[in-house]
Amino acid sequence: MFGRLTWDSIQTHDPFLFMATIGMPIVVIALVIVLAYFKKWGYLWREWFTTVDHKKIGFMYIILGMMMMLRGFVDAIMMRAQQSIAEGANHGYLTADHFSQIFSAHGTIMIIFAAMPIFIGLMNIAVPLQIGARDVAFPALNSVSFWLTVSASLLVMVSLSIGDFSTAGWTGIAPYFEKQYSPGSGVDYWTWALQLSGVGTTLTGINFFVTIIKMRAPGLKLMRMPLFTWTALTTNALIVLSFPALTVALLLLTLDRYLGMNFFTNLLGGNVMLYNNIFWMWGHPEVYIVILPAFGIFSEVVATFSRKQIFGYHSLVYATAVIMILSFTVWLHHFFTMGNSVDVNIAFGIATMLIAIPTGVKVFDWLFTMYRGRINFSTPMYWLVAFLVMFVVGGMTGVLMAIPPIDYLVHNTVFLVAHFHNMLIPGALFGYFAGLIYWFPKIFGFKLDERWGKISFWGWAIGFPTAFFPLYVLGFMGMPRRMYHYDNPTWQPLLIVAAIGTAIIAGAFVAMAIQAYVSVKNRKKNADLTGDPWNGRTLEWSIPSPPPVYNFAVIPTVEGRDSFWTEKEKGTAYKRPEKYSDIHVPKNVPYGVWIGIAAFFFGFAMIWYMWWLAILGLIGAITTVIIAANNDENEYVISAEEVKKIEDAHYERLAAAGGKQHE
């Protein structure tokens, strides 16, 4: 009945995993009790769990991403602490197997379950508001996508306590991940977590691609769209085109492990290189899937805080499109050393260098936007400046490794670890932090505390290079990646420096938590009802903060780029409409929650060979989809009179606050 799940599968042999085994259920039970005591379960179910409002779904995505980032960062602390002491006779405090699980979980979590949810959350919040839409094209599907991501995240967390996680790295290593070499549950946890989240992300890509193409406000032509919307459009095109490759790679691996096939073995016609090609056809576009939205955020931030139009709008759009296309032409540089011909390596080396050109165009456009601007160095602008400095360093090391002979020298060393962190942390994470601060008043109606925001920034700005720049040197010294123990004493001082940098970043995380607490505590002092705290340029700043459930009382007509700024200059930005109309709003539905629950049990059952539960989970998901498809009552109407009352109340609050709207 329970397949291969036994009492021995519960983690009790490792003190750290045992603490997680005991601690996680205690935390969950305590949370359930607290919510029941304050009678919040009904509210959470009605207003949040079953919501199809893109703004609330976006906020839940961000919360999920930040929680998983914390888990991934704990893994990073454990790895850096282990490597700082595990030299010579000292083998540290982690076993080799546990260390391998940690680096596999760290990469998987940070890419799939931290970066992806955070940028999808920001996209959910900002894109419909930027294009003048009341919601996304398929609101219920948006909920399904979120809960599939939640179910996949839960599988990763459950692996802490029941069974183990993969030791084959976040990318998978063929044929090591085959059942012959990895017979436990770890690779299966990794496979099903990625597969479920991949399905949810693909649905998100379809949803937002359709939303941007079909639901723009009248007059909002493609070349009038905000640059964040442009990067969201190209990102979702990448998602739709690349994630099926990941789905296929994981499906073939599943057939190998469950049915004894040999797609990724060296036996019976299998080919380990097949996996590398399929996986990295997704894996390299994935890098730009997480970075392009941050580029869009930086474009919004630099224009707003430089108080001028973005320099080179058209070149930024074309550069984004070129990056999208070239990202599909460079996947083989991830395995230059694995026996390809010289001609193939040269072709992919040139393609890799070429992709630096449109990225360089973006950097120069942002710098020229700042040139002679009236720059306001608010916290989002700090993140932009730090990104410009650090990302260029990472980009130069990328061009260096695009040369196959140099890649042969540093391949599989910690130089590579330094490079991709140097790209993803300033290139993606700094952008997400800038976007969270920039749009926070749009989400909640008050600003985040600037003082603690800048303290957190300096923690990252100092901690990041301290943690990762020593790895460049260690890579040149020949230190391989994924080592839990080493015998070269010359490596240890630099690894200790890297551990100190990680501790500084931990302090930056603490400062972020304090910033959130102080901001909530002082929210009345920092309240902004106007919707325009940064003097923003695009359409989302033209509505109240936080926006009403219907977003726009009247869908605006866009007459140019930087539409809100243009309206302000014309003096027509704050003119109230003469009349309101009935607004159709999608109803909250529980389908996403039920599909997420069914998907979790299906994935868990497949991991532990509980076929009856897997069948029930699959039937539950399919049944929910059928019920949802046959439900015609999927929206309600807010009458024109109710809309007018909501808008009147907003203007009354503004008058009571002693301010003029958007002033």
Phi, psi of 394 (to 5 degrees): -60, -40
Task: Mark whether 277 is an active-site residue.
Answer: no
Nearest of 318, 303, 296 to residue 232 by alpha carbon: 296
Work out the end-to-end distance of the chain between its first and last CA atoms, rounded to an integer number of angstroms: 65
Task: Mark whether 359 is an active-site residue.
Answer: yes
Predicted pLDDT of residue 529: 60
Predicted pLDDT of residue 74: 94
- How far is residue 658 from each of residues 44, 471, 543, measured CA to CA in Å? 34, 55, 18
From 104, 211, 276, 526, active-site residue: 211
Rounded distance between C-alpha atoms, residue 287 and residue 420, angstroms: 9
Task: Mark whether 525 is an active-site residue.
Answer: no
Task: Mark whether 98 is an active-site residue.
Answer: no
Say which range, 22-26, 41-45, 319-323, has the weakest mean pLDDT.
22-26
Banded model confidence at residue 530, pLDDT cuts 50, 70, 90: low
Task: Mark whether 456 is an active-site residue.
Answer: no
Say which range, 12-21, 228-237, 557-566, has the weakest mean pLDDT.
12-21
Residue 264 has pLDDT above 70, yes or no: yes
Buried b (16+ CB within 10 A) or exposed e, 276-300: bebbbbbbbbbbbbbbbbbbbbbbb
Name every residue whose Cβ is closer than 8 Å to that of residue 313 and which is 6 or more positions away in sequence. Answer: 223, 227, 561
From 143, 149, 236, 538, active-site residue: 149
Task: Mark whether 381 is an active-site residue.
Answer: no
- What confidence tens digit (pLDDT) does each residue in 162-178 have? 999 999 999 999 999 99
Banded model confidence at residue 654, pLDDT cuts 50, 70, 90: low
Name every residue whose Cβ is closer than 8 Å to that of residue 131 and which is 6 or more positions away in sequence. Answer: 211, 212, 215, 216, 217, 220, 225, 229, 539
Residue 136 has pLDDT above 60, yes or no: yes
- What confidence tens digit (pLDDT) does each residue in 317-328 have? 999 999 999 999
From 54, 55, 308, 362, active-site residue: 362
Rounded distance between C-alpha atoms, residue 606 and residue 513, angstroms: 37
- What confidence tens digit (pLDDT) does each residue in 352-364 have? 999 999 999 999 9
- Compute the mean pLDDT over every residue in the chain, rounded to the nearest whole number: 91
From 100, 197, 207, 299, active-site residue: 299
Task: Mark whether 149 is an active-site residue.
Answer: yes
Task: Mark whether 419 is an active-site residue.
Answer: yes
Banded model confidence at residue 436, pLDDT cuts 50, 70, 90: very high
Cβ atoms within 10 Å, residue 314 = 9
From 55, 257, 419, 442, active-site residue: 419
Task: Mark whether 9 is an active-site residue.
Answer: no
What are the structural domains, with CATH classification, of the chain? Answer: 40-589+632-656 (1.20.210.10)
Residue 160 has pLDDT above 90, yes or no: no
From 59, 208, 288, 430, active-site residue: 288
From 359, 530, 563, 624, active-site residue: 359
- What confidence tens digit (pLDDT) does each residue in 298-345 have? 999 999 999 999 999 999 999 999 999 999 999 998 888 887 888 998
Task: Mark whether 306 is an active-site residue.
Answer: no
Task: Mark whether 286 is an active-site residue.
Answer: yes
Rounded distance between C-alpha atoms, residue 418 and residue 397, angstroms: 9
Task: Mark whether 103 is an active-site residue.
Answer: yes
Predicted pLDDT of residue 661: 43
Task: Mark whether 207 is an active-site residue.
Answer: no
From 49, 53, 75, 567, active-site residue: 75
Task: Mark whether 54 is an active-site residue.
Answer: no
Residue 659 has pLDDT above 60, yes or no: no
Say which range, 133-147, 252-266, 571-585, has the weakest mean pLDDT.
571-585
Task: Mark whether 651 is an active-site residue.
Answer: no
Predicted pLDDT of residue 153: 96
Task: Mark whether 450 is an active-site residue.
Answer: no
Q: Are the C-beta atoms of residues 650 and 520 closer than 8 Å to each other? A: no
From 87, 135, 562, 567, active-site residue: 135
Share of the chain above pLDDT 90, in %: 73
Task: Mark whether 75 is an active-site residue.
Answer: yes
Predicted pLDDT of residue 199: 97
Nearest of 4, 37, 126 to residue 604 by alpha carbon: 4
From 68, 79, 215, 390, active-site residue: 79
Task: Mark whether 142 is an active-site residue.
Answer: yes
From 51, 84, 108, 124, active-site residue: 124
Task: Mark whether 176 is an active-site residue.
Answer: no
Residue 408 has pLDDT above 50, yes or no: yes
Task: Mark whether 61 is an active-site residue.
Answer: yes
From 71, 224, 537, 662, active-site residue: 71
Rounded distance between C-alpha atoms, residue 190 and residue 172, angstroms: 9
Banded model confidence at residue 531, pLDDT cuts 50, 70, 90: low
- How far is residue 342 from each of residues 117, 346, 403, 406, measured CA to CA in Å? 39, 6, 12, 14
Predicted pLDDT of residue 5: 83
Helices 54-85 and 139-158: crossing angle in degrees, nearest 10, is: 20
From 98, 224, 284, 447, active-site residue: 284
Q: Are the C-beta atoms of residues 451 and 379 closer than 8 Å to each other? A: no
From 104, 142, 167, 234, active-site residue: 142
Rounded distance between C-alpha atoms, residue 137 and residue 133, angstroms: 9
Say which range, 186-190, 267-271, 422-426, 458-462, has the weakest mean pLDDT.
267-271
Q: What is the pTM of this model?
A: 0.95
For residues 372-395, average pLDDT: 94
From 167, 182, 201, 235, active-site residue: 201
Phi, psi of 585 (to 5 degrees): -120, 135
From 159, 197, 202, 204, active-site residue: 204
For residues 552-558, average pLDDT: 90
From 263, 313, 420, 580, active-site residue: 420
Task: Mark whether 12 is an active-site residue.
Answer: no
Task: Mark whether 362 is an active-site residue.
Answer: yes
Banded model confidence at residue 525, pLDDT cuts 50, 70, 90: confident
Residue 20 has pLDDT above 80, yes or no: no
From 224, 421, 442, 662, active-site residue: 421
From 61, 444, 591, 600, active-site residue: 61
Task: Mark whether 587 is an active-site residue.
Answer: no
